[in-house]
Structure 1
C-alpha cells in the first residue's frame, strides 16, 4: 500500500490494523516477521553501538543523549536528521518513501549507533560475535504499560490496544509486540555481565540525569567539559526534546503516527500509572508481578 493510499484511508477514519506473527514465540508485526532472516543475519561491526530497550522505556531520550555526546554537544549536528535516520532501528520498516532500518544501517558509515527493541534472545548473533557495546534502558512495568497503551493508539503500525481494561490483561500476558516486558528486562539483566552492556534505569535517569550521563560517558570512553555536559542535560530534557522536531517524531505523517490521539512524547514522568490503574487493577498487577519476577535480583521504582 502506498503512502498516499494510507493517508487516504486515514482521512476516511479507517484504522489499518497490522497483522502480527510470532517470531520464536515473540509477537511481532508481520512486517518484521516477513524479513526475519535478513534481520537475524544482520552484520554488526565491532565499533557499532546498540541502544536496546523495551518499548517506551526512554529509547529516544537515550539516543539523543548519545548523539549529543558523540557530537560534543553540537545542537546543530544533532538536528541533522530525524532520530530514526540518525540511529537506524534495525528490525523496523516504515512505509515508503522511508527506508527500512536495515537499509539505513547498511548504508551508514562507521561508527554506527543502532537501535532495537528486540528481546535478548532475538538479537542478531553478530552483535555478540563482534562484542558490540550495548546500552540497555529499563523502565518500571506500570509506567511502561501506560505509555505503550497510548503509543499503540497513536502509532498506526501497532495493533489496536482495545480498551484500557483489555490492554492491562494483554500486557500482563505478554501478548504485545516485542513480547513480555517481564522476560525482556530479565533477559537483558541476565546477560549484562557476560557482554559489554551498560544497564540503566529510566527512573535513575529522571532522578539524576547528570549522574547517569556520566555513566554513559565512562562506558563510551568519552571525556567532555562540564559546560558541554550541562548543555547535554539541558537539550535532552523532556521539555526541550518535546519541542525538537528531529526527536519528537512530528515529521511523520498522521497516517503513521497520529499525534492528535496522543503525542509521541507524552509525559515522561515516573508515577503516571497512578492516574490510570484502579486500586483493584493495581493489586492484581502487583500479585501477578511478584510471580513473574520471582527469583530475579532486578528491582524497579514505580515513582521517584
Structure 2
C-alpha cells in the first residue's frame, strides 16, 4: 500500500493538528456516544494502548478468547478521530461495532470531545504521563510513524514540545484541561502512567471499582500477566506491528515503557531550561507528576 507523504502541522481552533485527525471533524463532533461506552483519553504516548489492552482483557478475554489472538488492538479499540484514506475511519468502525461496551480511544484535548460523551455520561479514563518521558516517547514515535509530521532532530523537537507545536497541541494544556474537568465530573477517572508502572495491581483495582467490575483474583492475575510490557511488546496483535504506517526498522512502537528514560536524552542544560519553562506553565494547577520512581 502506498503511504502518503508525512502531513503538515497546522493550527486548528488553537490546537496544532494534522489532517488525519481533522478531516472527519463534523462526524467526530456528531458522534453518538452511548451510556455504556468507555473512552480512554490521553495525550499521545502516555499509556493509552496499555490501558486499552487492559480494558479489552477485562471485558472480553473470557467472552471470546481468540479475540486477543486474531484481532489487532487498533480494531478492538477504535481510534475515534482517526481518518486516513485507505483505512476505515474511527467513527465508521465505532458505528459498526457490535461489542458492548465499546472501548474507544482518543487523544483529543477536553474541549474537542464530542458533546454526546457528556450528555450520555459515558465513563472516561484519562491517562497522564510526565512531560519529560512523554516528549522522549513522542520523539521516537514520530521518527517511526509516517503518518506524523517530520520530527527533525531532538533539540528542535524538544523546543517544539515546549511551544506546544505537537499533534494534539500542548501537553501542558492537555493534561491540565482534563484534570480540571474531572474535578466536576465523577465519570472521569484520572490515572497516572507512573502509578500504573509502580502499583499495577492497585491501579487495576481502582479501574475496576470505577467501572463497576469485580473480576476474580485469578482473572485479575491473568490480566496483569498479559499486560506486562514485555508480553505486550511481543504480542503482534498489541504491539503495532500490524499497522502499515509504522516503520519498526527505525524504532519499535512499544519502545521501553519505563519511567525516567528522559535522563538518557536530556542534556543538563536542556533539563534546566525545560524545568524552568515547566514550572511557569504548570504554576496555575495543583496537578503533580513524578519523573522518577
Whether TM exceeds 0.5 here: the answer is yes
C-alpha distance in structure 1 between counterparts of 2:274 and 2:102, whole Å = 39
Q: Does 1:153 align with 2:143?
A: yes
Give 1:56 deviation, angstroms: 0.2
Residue 129 of structure 1: which of 101, 119, 129 is its match? Answer: 119
C-alpha distance in structure 2 between counterparts of 1:81 and 1:68, whole Å = 13
- Report matched runs for 1:245-260 at 5 Å: 245-253=236-244, 256-260=245-249
C-alpha distance in structure 1 between counterparts of 2:65 and 2:199, whole Å = 22
Q: Output one character per residue of 1:216-242: Cα deviation in whole Å (capped at 9) or x when no partner.
A: 110110111111111111100000000
C-alpha distance in structure 2 between counterparts of 1:273 and 1:75, whole Å = 37
Give 1:251 deviation, angstroms: 1.1
CA contact (8 A) 1:217 1:223 kept: yes
Partner of 1:224: 215
- Report matched runs for 1:26-105 at 5 Å: 26-72=15-61, 75-96=65-86, 98-105=87-94
Alpha carbons of structure 1 residues 168 and 25: separation in structure 2 relative to 1, 3 Å = same
C-alpha distance in structure 1 between counterparts of 2:120 and 2:221, whole Å = 33
Q: Which runs of 5+ in 1 are unaligned?
A: 10-15
CA contact (8 A) 2:72 2:238 kept: yes
CA contact (8 A) 2:61 2:67 kept: no
- Report matched runs for 1:114-125 at 5 Å: 114-125=104-115
Residue 224 of structure 2: SS of its match in structure 1? helix
CA contact (8 A) 1:72 1:224 kept: no
Alpha carbons of structure 1 residues 177 and 113: separation in structure 2 relative to 1, 3 Å = same
Q: Which runs of 5+ in 2 are unaligned?
A: none
Give the TM-score of the pair, scaled to structure 1: 0.92
Partner of 1:12: none
Please say which of residues 69-78 and 45-54 is displaced more in the overlay: 69-78
C-alpha distance in structure 1 between counterparts of 2:246 and 2:222, whole Å = 30
Give 1:20 deviation, angstroms: 2.9
C-alpha distance in structure 2 between counterparts of 1:260 and 1:27, whole Å = 28
RMSD (Å) for aligned C-alpha atoms: 1.3
Partner of 1:13: none
- Report matched runs for 1:133-212 at 5 Å: 133-195=123-185, 196-212=187-203
CA contact (8 A) 1:47 1:132 kept: yes
Partner of 1:18: 7
CA contact (8 A) 1:161 1:167 kept: yes
CA contact (8 A) 1:68 1:75 kept: no
Give 1:124 deviation, angstroms: 0.7
Give 1:75 deviation, angstroms: 5.0
CA contact (8 A) 1:120 1:188 kept: yes
Residue 192 of structure 1: SS of its match in structure 2? helix
Give 1:36 deviation, angstroms: 1.3
